[in-house]
Chains A and B, each alone.
Chain A
Amino acid sequence: AQSVTQLDSQVPVFEEAPVELRCNYSSSVSVYLFWYVQYPNQGLQLLLKYLSGSTLVKGINGFEAEFNKSQTSFHLRKPSVHISDTAEYFCAVSHTGTASKLTFGTGTRLQVTL
């Protein structure tokens, strides 16, 4: 079984400041890693994913994440946030074998203010 921990339920940040949203996972097998964003009253949209190769992954809207196998982490970062980045962010994992269902963390609410 696998699990995902997002320790920060809410992260307040001022516009143009950097932000890091933390994600740690637990799994006995290899996993793929994902970050999804959910804007109010909308479905989930993929920000970025790690399947293999370079541990630094760049996604949409200026976000990037780094896979750290030894620390079982996949933290999401953005050097300068905008008001429009205010949303709920979900980290997720899936098994690299035959089971492709996503296991999600509890989400982090990013609140960007002026």
Chain B
Amino acid sequence: GAGVSQSPSNKVTEKGKDVELRCDPISGHTALYWYRQSLGQGLEFLIYFQGNSAPDKSGLPSDRFSAERTGGSVSTLTIQRTQQEDSAVYLCASSWRGQGETQYFGPGTRLLVL
């Protein structure tokens, strides 16, 4: 079946511009996660959505970062006024529910901020 998909696969933007990254989770998965993978910081948790509960935003690095999940399915991660340190691979994952469940990862969006 279809896995987690992310778009775009690559994004190049100029410093100060806003970007939107999209994640389509596996159908039926109620939990959705965003992580960031960068050379300096490794793999970091950003935000977690579980059903209709309030999202866990504890990993968002600044108020320039936000995310939403519409209709319990597709999620968009928005980065406003991008900075060069935002350059990274942004990974999305989904799972059936929450704790202990296997998280299935998408291929990621590679963001380069010039």
Bound form: Cα–Cα A99–B55 in Å: 11
Q: Which bucket holds chain A's interface residue count?
A: 20 to 34
Q: Does A28 contact B (CB under 8 A)?
A: no
On whether the beta carbons of A103 and B45 are closer than 8 Å, the reply is yes
Q: A42-B107, A43-B91 are in contact. Are A100 and B101 (CB under 8 A)?
A: yes
Chain A residue with Cβ nearest B42: A106
Chain A residue with Cβ nearest B101: A100
Chain B residues with Cβ below 8 Å from A100 are 31, 48, 50, 95, 98-101
On whether the beta carbons of B98 and A49 are closer than 8 Å, the reply is no
Bound form: Cα–Cα A64–B33 in Å: 26
Bound form: Cα–Cα A104–B58 in Å: 16
On whether the beta carbons of B107 and A43 are closer than 8 Å, the reply is yes
Bound form: Cα–Cα A43–B107 in Å: 4
Q: Mark A16-37, 1 if CB is under 8 A from B, else 0.
A: 0000000000000000100010
Bound form: Cα–Cα A55–B93 in Å: 26
On whether the beta carbons of B45 and A101 are closer than 8 Å, the reply is yes
Q: Does A98 contact B (CB under 8 A)?
A: yes
Q: A43-B91, A104-B42, A107-B42 are in contact. Are A99 and B103 (CB under 8 A)?
A: no
On whether the beta carbons of B43 and A46 are closer than 8 Å, the reply is no
Bound form: Cα–Cα A43–B33 in Å: 13
Bound form: Cα–Cα A105–B103 in Å: 16
Q: A43-B91, A104-B42, A104-B43 are in contact. Are A97 and B107 (CB under 8 A)?
A: no
On whether the beta carbons of B99 and A97 are closer than 8 Å, the reply is yes
Bound form: Cα–Cα A114–B45 in Å: 36
Binding site for A on B (CB under 8 A): 4, 31, 33, 35, 42-45, 48, 50, 56, 58-59, 91, 93, 95, 98-108
Q: Given known contacts A44-B91, A95-B99, what 7 new A-B pairs fall within 8 Å (CB)?
A: A49-B102, A96-B99, A97-B99, A99-B56, A102-B35, A104-B42, A106-B42
